[in-house]
Amino acid sequence: MYKRIAAVLFPVTLIALVATATWGYQENQDKNSILIKAESQYQRAFHELNANVDQLQDELGKSLALNSRNQMSSSLSNVWRISYSAQSNIGQLPLTLMPFDSAEKFVAKTGKFAYEIGLRDLDKQPLTDDEWKTLEGLYQNADDIRKDLQSVQKKVMDKDLRWMDVEMALASEDQKMDNVIIDGFKEVNHKVEQYPEIDWGPTISNMEVRKKEKNNRLTGPTITADDAKKVVAKMVDRKTTDGMNTKKSVKGDFPTWNINYKESKIGDVYANVTVKGGHPVWFLYDRPVTVSKISYEEALRKAKRFLIKSGFKHMEAISYDETENVIAYNFVQKTNGVMVYPKTVVAKVALDNGDIMGLQTDEYVFNPLDVSKMKAKLSEKDAKKQVNQHLKIQKVNRAVIYDRQGEARLCYEFQGILKNSLYRVFIDANTGDEVEVKKVKQADADLA
């Protein structure tokens, strides 16, 4: 009888053991595959970050050497784009538990500083002595960071170091951990903290203050990781949140949920959503775009639809920039007929098929302006008297902008032609002062 039972059970047991071993092997293979993909992603982001900082230092140096103000505007625009790319790559590295926030803020502020200057008409508002000194300081600081990161990069390559070891070391909270990458990034961050105080100018300084104040006044409840996934899924018309990874970041001026997932075999998606209120701050779809097939007009329509779906309504495109088959549109909110320039959003569209490749909304989220309380004492007719008589006015808007001291001012915006160039002239609606003059790029004239 025992023989008969054994004869039945032995094959069953053997099959179960084989099945268990096969399942365990497959499980191990899947785990290894995930680890390899994560390591590959970390390595790519790290090496691209090194390239970004190298390009940033190079472009800052070029800005200092240029004599043509048009070329300087273009170079400063490149600084902003490179800074944005560097921030994206920093966000893809496992640095949440590592002190690197000072270096990250330096990169972000450098981009914003360049962006603000690049928007100006440098013929009428050239760099001040203080701004020139700031630019020189940024160039030198970027060079220091470049050298330090290259030193870390060389050690990583020479010793074949892994970022997964960094993640595990940080997660273990081992106070005695000795890791070349961790020590290198800590050193970079420490050096940035020791830099002399940088004069970022009133616009950025006030923006930082507003940013911190805004976090305390963000509307909406505190959201969970699952809520953040749903915010991103809704933005991209994804029916499920399966496969989305989340990590909470509490460093910086506001806590966020960092989200990433694989969109296809050739692309990854990264996003940041505020913990309070669930506001998307930035979004990036990282995949190659090798050709241009759709028109700028179609790309603009897709960008507008995406913004509406993501909760950014009443937005008007004011400028665009195209690089490597991706077009970036800059939008401004228009509220009750008033162009609110501080509330800007950047949306990037792939010109091969219209995919949304990027979204940056921090200036929108952290500029809590209530324009309904702003009233004009001057009439449009009176304000027009303060405009250069040679400007052939084509369009008039009411607009809110920040002045050089970072204060919000209600203005009349006069758009017109002077010597074959298009300008925006902002006249204070209460004092009649000329607050700012901006030259509109020829490429942006159709949007004006």
Q: Examine residue 160 and state whether it is found in any structural domain, yes or no.
A: yes
At 252-288, the pLDDT tens digits run 678 899 999 988 777 889 999 999 999 998 899 988 9
On whether residue 355 sits in a domain, the answer given is: yes
Residues 41 and 140 in one domain: yes
pLDDT at 303: 96
Residues 57 and 80 in one domain: yes
Under a CB-based contact definition with an 8 Å cutoff, are residues 344 and 363 in contact? yes
18 falls within a domain: no
Of 344, 368, 392, the residue at which a domain comes to its end is: 368
Whether residue 286 is found in the same domain as residue 173: no
- Residue 265 CA to residue 278 CA, distance in Å, equals 28
Domain that holds residue 389: 374-444
Please report where in the chains the tokens 């692309």 appear, as a residue.
267
Does 184 share its domain with 52? yes
For every residue of 121-165, which 3-state class applies, written as one string? CCCCCCCCHHHHHHHHHHHHHHHHHHHHHHHHHHHHHHHCCCHHH
Q: What is the mean pLDDT of each run of 10 residues along the chain (448 residues)?
A: 48 53 50 63 85 90 79 83 84 72 84 80 80 89 90 84 72 57 83 73 60 66 95 92 91 83 85 92 90 95 94 92 88 94 93 94 83 93 93 94 84 92 92 88 66
| Structure confidence at residue 11 (pLDDT) | 54
Residue 208 covered by a domain: no
Cβ 279 vs Cβ 361: under 8 Å:
yes
Report whether 152 contacts 163 (CB < 8 A): no
Distance CA 199, CA 134 (A): 6
Same domain, 169 and 243: no
For residue 237, give the 3-state DSSP assignment: coil
160 and 65 part of one domain = yes
Do 166 and 41 reside in the same domain of the chain? yes
Token pair listed for 74: 């273009």
127-178 pLDDT, tens per residue? 888 888 888 999 999 999 999 889 888 888 888 878 777 766 666 555 444 5
Verify that 34 and 182 share a domain, yes or no. yes
Q: Give me the pLDDT at residue 93, please.
A: 80
What was the pLDDT predicted at 42?
Answer: 81
Structural domain contains residue 213: no
End-to-end CA, the chain: 93
| CATH code of the domain containing 397 | 3.10.450.40
Same domain, 88 and 181: yes
Query: What dihedral angle (degrees, nearest 10) is formed by the CA atoms of 250, 252, 256, 260?
Result: -100
Among 325, 346, 368, the domain boundary falls at: 368
Same domain? 276 vs 190: no
Question: Which among 368, 396, 414 is the end of a domain?
Answer: 368
Residue with tokens 């902002």: 426
Looking at the structure of the chain, the number of domains it has is 3
Same domain, 295 and 190: no
Token pair listed for 422: 């298009």
Instruction: Please tell me whether residues 33 and 169 are part of one structural domain.
Output: yes
- Shortest CA distance to 319 belongs to which of 206, 138, 178, 445? 445
Are the C-beta atoms of 351 and 288 separated by less than 8 Å? no
Give dist(CA 396, CA 398) in Å, integer: 7
Contact 330, 322 (CB under 8 A): no
CA–CA gap between residue 358 and residue 84 (Å, rounded): 11
Residues whose CB is less than 8 angstroms from the CB of residue 63 and which lie 6 or more positions away in sequence, other chains included: 72, 75, 76, 79, 114, 135
261: nearest Cα among 290, 276, 275, 240: 240
Could you tell me the CATH number of the domain that includes residue 349?
Answer: 3.30.310
Listed residue (195, 131, 190, 149) closest to 55, CA to CA: 149
